[in-house]
Structures are given as structure tokens and as C-alpha cells.
Amino acid sequence: MISKRTILILMCVLGAIFSGLANALPFSQMPKWRPDKIYRSGDVVANQYDIYVALLPSKGQDPKTSRLWRKARYSRTVNYQINKLYIPAAVVKQGEKFYLALHLNVPLAPSSIFETRHWLEFTHPSLSYSLPDPEATPDNSTLLGKDSNQNQIRDDYEIAVAYSDLPPEVMDAALTAGKTYGQLMASGSTTTVDASTARTLLEKSVRAEQCKRQMAAAHGGSTWKESTFFNTVERVQAKYSLQNMLATVAGDQRLPVFDGDACYSLTNN
């Protein structure tokens, strides 16, 4: 017969496994702070670009300015250790996962991280991407805009995509498409574009469109909006006229029908 002790151990192991399998709460799905709501200590809210943990009960206290809230410290992420004191809003990493401390606590065992009373598994855009400052004013006065982290994706587009509620796969594809859109815009300031370059860039633009549709089909309509990138009439005009220019330079030959994974092709070519 199985002893009580064995059952208990089994339950603990299974509990640890299943709590470990719980999905991380994405930033986009965190509850937004509401001024009319009463919050208790350990509650978590999202406010614009950040996550806040309630230190004490409050109502109507703006997390951005109140001392009753503390901003999650994802910029100071540390590896999870037992027998160490963690303050509320501390962010720890265990394996590939990130956890937010909800209360002051000292984990005594590796499995303590699964105690949902003290810890919340979560994701935040800044944990996966090196993002530009989301509070910075976007530069919409030029076609190219600003790319402060120099990753070939315009800042405001990158931030909008990274903080959106798109599924991770769609988000990655949207950022890759953003690079293609940026290359299209940059072709406008290049003095000459030869036929081969024009054709390559056109093919990439078509692939970005096909990838967008592929993602919509795979994720129940969830895909990115081109208006996030082409967010001024001047940029929309440039999109149309630069593609027309590239098509003229590339010549009349039709592009071959592409039958593969458009997003894979977009990322790897």
C-alpha cells in the first residue's frame, strides 16, 4: 500500500509541476489601474508602460506618483535564490521565466517560487527586447523617424508592437516586418536603386504582406496594422510611391508565386 508520506510527496511534486506549468501573465493582459477601485497589498496593475505592485491598501492613489505602489524592477532582474530576502516588486529570473515578488518574502525552497501568494510569473516587453524609451516623443516630421536603439526598427512602431497584446509569434513577425518597412522608406533617400536591389526589396515587401495575412489566418485575425508604421499621410504616400518606383525599376517581369512560410522567409532572407 502507498503510505501517506508517499502520497504527500507525490502531491507536492505534482503541485510544483502543475504550478510551474501555469502560463505567465503577459503585460498586455494585466489589469489596468482604476482610480475607483480599492487595492490590497500585493495587487498588481499595469499603468501605461509599467507594472506596479501595491505595498499597502489604497484607493485613487496613482501608482505613478504614490508611495503606496512600487514599480516592478525589471531593469534590475536577478537570478532566483533561496534564503534571500526579496522586497515587493523585485523581479527574479528562474530558467527562462520571470517572476514578480508580490510581498516581502524569503523563499526557503526552490519550489517556493511557485507560491502564487508571493510570486507572479509574468512577461513584460522590456524583459525580451532592448526597447527604446517609451516615454520619448516620436519623430513624425520625417519619413524615417527615430531609431534610437539602432536596430533598424523605428522607435514608435517598435514600442507600439512590443506593448501590444499580439501573440508573441505575431509580435516577432511584426517587428521583422517593421525592418522591411523601414528599408522601403530608406530606399527613398538612396540616390540610385538598381533592378536587382529593387526586386529584392519588393519581394520582401510582398513577403511582409503575406506574413501579415498568414499570422491573421493562424491567430484568429490577430495581426499587426500597417497604420502603426505608416502613421502619417506622408508615410502612406511614400509607401505607395516607393513601391511603384521599385516595381518600375525592377521591370515588368512578374514575381514568382511564393508557396512557403512567408514569415520564415521574411526573417531569414
Partner 1 sequence: MKTRMKRAVTGFIIGLVAETPAAYAACEDNVDNVEAYYVNGMFTDFSDFEANRQAISKFISGYLAASNFNSDVKGTHNISEGAYNQVMEVAKQKTEDGNATKKQAVLEFINGDYDYLNSEEGVAAVQEYLEAIKGAYEYTLNEEDGLKAKQGLEELLDTCSRVVMITHSQGNFYGNALLNGVYASYHFPNGYALAQFPMLGNMQIASPVNVPGGAAASLYPELIGHLTNDNDLVMRLVRSTRGSVPSNFNAPDIEADKSGHSLEKRTSLSMVKPELLRPACTRSADLLNRIRSTVKVAQAPQPLAALAIRLSVGFWISVLTLAVFTVTTRWTIAFSMGCRTLLHKAPFSTAAFVETTASRSSNEPLG
Distance CA 180, CA 150 (A): 14
All residues at 6 or more sequence positions from 235 whose CB lies less than 8 Å from its CB, including other chains: 143, 185, 229
123 vs 214, which CB is nearer to partner 1? 214
Residue 231 CB, shortest distance to partner 1, in Å, is 6
Q: What is the C-alpha separation between 52 and 32, in angstroms, rounded?
A: 10
Q: Is 179 in the site for partner 1 (CB under 8 A)?
A: no
Instruction: Read off the C-alpha cell for 56.
Output: 499597502
Residue 34 identity: R
Q: Does 205 bind partner 1 (CB under 8 A)?
A: yes
Nearer to partner 1, 70 or 204 (CB): 204
Closer residue to partner 1 in complex, CB, 232/267: 232
Nearer to partner 1, 13 or 195 (CB): 195
- Residue of 120, 105, 127, 103 whose CA lies nearest to 54: 103
Q: Which residues contact 26 (CB under 8 A, 6 or more apart)?
A: 122, 123, 165
Residues 220-249 that bind partner 1 (CB under 8 A): 220-221, 225-227, 230-233, 236-237, 239-240, 243-244, 246-247
Question: 256 by DSSP, 3-state: which?
Answer: coil
The residue to which cell 502560463 is assigned:
23
Asked if residue 145 lies in contact with residue 139, where contact means CB atoms within 8 angstroms, the answer is yes
Segment contacting partner 1 by CB under 8 A, of 66-74, 108-116, 153-161, 205-213? 205-213
- Residues 154, 144 contacting (CB under 8 angstroms): yes
Q: Which amino acid belongs to residue 10?
A: L
Smallest distance from the beta carbon of 18 to partner 1, in angstroms? 31
CB of 148 to partner 1, least distance (A): 24
* 37 versus 213: smaller Cβ distance to partner 1: 213
Give the interface with partner 1 as residue ranges (CB under 8 A).
202, 205-206, 208-210, 213-214, 216-217, 220-221, 225-227, 230-233, 236-237, 239-240, 243-244, 246-247, 254-255, 257-259
